[in-house]
Amino acid sequence: MNKDVRVCIIGAGPAGLSAGMYLEQKGYFNYTILEKNDHVGGKCHSPYYNGRRYEMGAIMGVPSYYAVHDVEEFCGITHDGPKLNRNYKDSKGNVIEPFEPRKNPLRIPHLMKMKKQVKKLGEILETKYRGYDINGHRGVAEGRYDGYAVTPGREKVSGVNENLKDLALPFKEFCEMNGVELTQEIWIGPYTSFGYGYFDEIPAAYVLKYLDFQTTMNFVNINLWTWQNGTQFIWESLNDKLKNHARLNSNITKVERKDGKVYVTVNGTVEEYDKLIVTAPLQFFPDYADAREDEKEFFSKIDYERYDVLAVETKPEDHPEISYYVFDNMTPERLGHLMVYYRRWRDTKDQVITTYALRKHRDSEEIPYETCKQTVLEDLRTMKNPASNVVNEQSWYYFPHIFSEDYAAGWYDKVEAMQGRYDTYYAGEVMSFGDMDETAEYSRELVDRFF
């Protein structure tokens, strides 16, 4: 492609900013990043409170976040934030240690069985499901894999593996079919509590591409990255480093693609480009663009999670000594309840804690936002860490995805076949997974494939 091609990137979250970085590294500098908000980073959002930053979105990373590490190296920054730790409570607020045999002698047979199943899952992922962890979903429904390996070298790999079709099954069914159903008790912590839905509704491909075996073991062993100035700092640093900074407060009201050009109406002014990369939610692309029938058809199948975050103050005597997971509340039956609450700064009590809850399951009615908020505040009282004030709150458009029937029918291969068809390329969360590393990695591959 001509290096002078004019590229418009919609969205300045991890996917859009990474696309700009990878374009620059390949010699493309004639790009523009448009962001509707007044800040970059998307769901990597780290506001200030009492002189320090707290997290309203993404919290942490792991050593297998290779695309995030690309950004760190490009910007000259590193993961220098507070060390994380956690404990567990039941729904009544009692501290429990569910994975400690010495504290749960009656659970020793269960824990031993779980350990064997975790080992078995690791083995079958490397053998029976070879290629399962490749970024993105191209070819999976057809029993193929094609992309970058999840290794420090990220080698380009491809191959045929008919067993990959099993990844279209809900993760619960996938585990039961393979005799590793107890592994869900390990995977649920960094999955459902982080807002990515429930194992009886979400295809295994999403769970395992995000929580591949090495990533999950990093979470289990608390081998985690954080950033002193928050995850938003990563993307602020990248925006500062890019030749072309994102243009904030850019309200796009129209996209028209005709005669080999892309016309974008931004804040009332029409701008002309040659190519378009959409990293903003594809579900809403037809609301402002001249979406074709195939785009409308496929993007209408996208669903998303309703994931709510509260930042709350507590009285010093009520401040939790550590972050807590509440496994009892990570089931569809406990929809709308507090799943995890997070203490970021261990050296002071003058900071907020953040709470996380889901309020939508495929087979149930959506719980109203205010109802969920009040439930979470009541749960904090039950946990003996009551909030004295709500400082910030956010209901995210979170983890866009498709369900098993559309996954198995080849949704991803059909959308991937549309890449470039209307001088338009589709990236962002739904094309890979809704965490910052997977979306950035997908942008890397998109640029590698088409530019």
- Decide: helix, strand or coil at residue 37: coil
Task: Please state, in angstroms and rounded to a whole number, the distance separating the CA atoms of residues 107 and 103.
Answer: 9
Distances (CA, A) of 88 to 138, 291, 292, 307, 322: 37, 47, 49, 21, 10
Task: Please state, in angstroms and rounded to a whole number, the distance separating the CA atoms of residues 58 and 74.
Answer: 20
Q: 374-393, pLDDT tens digit by residue?
A: 999 999 999 999 999 999 99
Q: Which ranges in the chain are annotated with CATH 3.30.70.1990?
A: 304-401
Task: Please state, in angstroms and rounded to a whole number, the distance separating the CA atoms of residues 402 and 216.
Answer: 23
Average pLDDT, the chain: 96
Task: Please state, in angstroms and rounded to a whole number, the distance separating the CA atoms of residues 187 and 118.
Answer: 10
Task: Please state, in angstroms and rounded to a whole number, the distance separating the CA atoms of residues 316 and 218.
Answer: 32
Q: 129-149, pLDDT tens digit by residue?
A: 999 999 999 999 999 999 998
Task: Please state, in angstroms and rounded to a whole number, the distance separating the CA atoms of residues 119 and 387.
Answer: 40
> Pick from 106, 90, 11: which is nearest to 442 by CA?
11
Written as one string, the DSSP assignment of 364-379 is SPPPPHHHHHHHHHHH
Distances (CA, A) of 208 to 65, 339, 344: 14, 21, 27
Q: Does domain 304-401 have CATH number 3.40.50.2300?
A: no
Is the entire prediction scored with pTM above 0.85? yes
Torsion sign (Cα): 12, 13, 14, 16: negative
Q: Which ranges in the chain are annotated with CATH 1.10.405.20?
A: 106-220
- Cβ-based neighbours of 105, under 8 Å, separated by 6 or more: none
- Cβ-based neighbours of 272, under 8 Å, separated by 6 or more: 6, 261, 262, 263
Q: Which ranges in the chain are annotated with CATH 3.50.50.60?
A: 7-80+227-302+402-450
Q: Residue 152 has what pLDDT? A: 86
State which residues of the chain have pLDDT below 70.
Answer: none
For the domain made up of 106-220, give the CATH fold.
Guanine Nucleotide Dissociation Inhibitor; domain 1 (1.10.405)
Q: Residue 150 has what pLDDT? A: 85
First-last CA distance in the chain: 6
Measured at the CA of 243, the angle between CA 242 and CA 246, to 5 degrees, comes to: 65
How are the residues of the chain apportioned to helix, strand and coil, as percentages rounded to the nearest 5?
40, 20, 40
For the domain made up of 7-80+227-302+402-450, give the CATH fold.
FAD/NAD(P)-binding domain (3.50.50)
Q: Residue 103 has what pLDDT? A: 82
The distance from CA 338 to its chain's CA centroid, rounded to whole angstroms, is: 19
Q: Are 235 and 41 in contact (CB under 8 A)?
A: yes
Task: Please state, in angstroms and rounded to a whole number, the distance separating the CA atoms of residues 377 and 312.
Answer: 9
- Decide: helix, strand or coil at residue 64: coil
